[in-house]
Amino acid sequence: MNWFAYAVLAAIAAAATAILAKIGVKDVNSNLATAIRTLVIVGFAWGIVFLSGAHSGIPHLSRHTLIFLVLSGIATGLSWLFYFRALQLGEASRVAPVDKFSLVLTLIFASVFLGEAMNWRVGVGVVLITSGTTLVALS
């Protein structure tokens, strides 16, 4: 499979996550729900690492790689905590599109921090996504 197929699968899984999480946080503290979700993900991810043999790469990780993976993990944890709280307080059909506004921010950050090219089509996409997110969030 190519990157696009994996991206579509990720989008489907993310959509399922929103619905399942909304149902799951109904009668529980959102932080506790996030912690339970995280435990499942930790077990799932390490299981795949060991089953695939990828654990052999652990001794070869650079300090630079570890620092940025830890920072990414912190950002992910914060994102999940905020997302679960938003789902608990709001409608999944409104929370998820706002959460996916991260796409616009990612495009901007990738341009600024990684030097990735932005052309007029990406700019139009950013405007359309921002407009759509605003329309859904304010409906």
Instruction: Report the pLDDT value the prediction gives residue 11, as an integer from 0 to 100.
Output: 87
The span from the first CA to the last CA of the chain, in angstroms, equals 37
Instruction: Report the pLDDT value the prediction gives residue 66, as an integer from 0 to 100.
Output: 96
Q: Report the interhelical angle of 120-137 vs 92-99 (nearest 10°).
A: 150
pTM of the model: 0.83
Instruction: Report the pLDDT value the prediction gives residue 134, as an integer from 0 to 100.
Output: 92
Instruction: Report the pLDDT value the prediction gives residue 51, as an integer from 0 to 100.
Output: 97
How far apart (Å, rounded) are the C-alpha atoms in residues 11 and 130? 18
Residues 19-35, buried b or exposed e (16+ Cβ, 10 A)? eebbebbeeeebeebbe
Instruction: Report the pLDDT value the prediction gives residue 38, as an integer from 0 to 100.
Output: 94
CA distances from 59 to 34, 45, 54, 62 (A): 30, 18, 11, 8
Phi-psi region of 29 (alpha: psi -120 to 50; beta: other; left: phi over 0): beta
How far apart (Å, rounded) are the C-alpha atoms in residues 10 and 50? 22
Q: What is the DSSP letter of 60?
A: G
* Mean per-residue pLDDT pooled into runs of 10, the chain (139 residues): 89 90 92 95 96 96 96 93 93 90 93 94 94 90
Instruction: Report the pLDDT value the prediction gives residue 138, as an integer from 0 to 100.
Output: 87
How far apart (Å, rounded) are the C-alpha atoms in residues 110 and 102? 12
How far apart (Å, rounded) are the C-alpha atoms in residues 29 and 27? 7
